[in-house]
A = this chain, B = another copy of it.
Amino acid sequence: MSSSSPASSRSPAPVRLRELRPADRAPLDALLRATGSFPENELAVAMELIDEGLAKAAAGATLAPDDYRFLVAELPEPGAPPRVIGYVCWGQNPMSDGVFDLYWIAVDPRAQGGGAGRALMAAAEAEARARGGRMVLVETGGKPSYAPTRRFYERIGYVEIARLPDYFRVGDDKVIYARRLDGEGRS
Chain A interface residues (CB < 8 Å from chain B): 1, 41-42, 44-45, 94-99, 134-135, 137, 161-170, 176, 178, 182, 184-185, 187
Knowing A135-B166, A162-B164, A166-B184, the reply to whether A45 touches B178 (Cβ < 8 A) is no
How many Å lie between the Cα of A168 and that of B99 in the bound state? 8
CB <8 Å contact, B162 and A45: no
A137: which B residues are within 8 A, CB to CB?
Answer: 164
CB <8 Å contact, A95 and B45: yes
CB <8 Å contact, A164 and B161: yes
CB <8 Å contact, B185 and A95: no
* Contact partner, A163, options B45, B162, B182, Cβ 8 Å: B162
A5 to chain B, nearest CB (A): 21
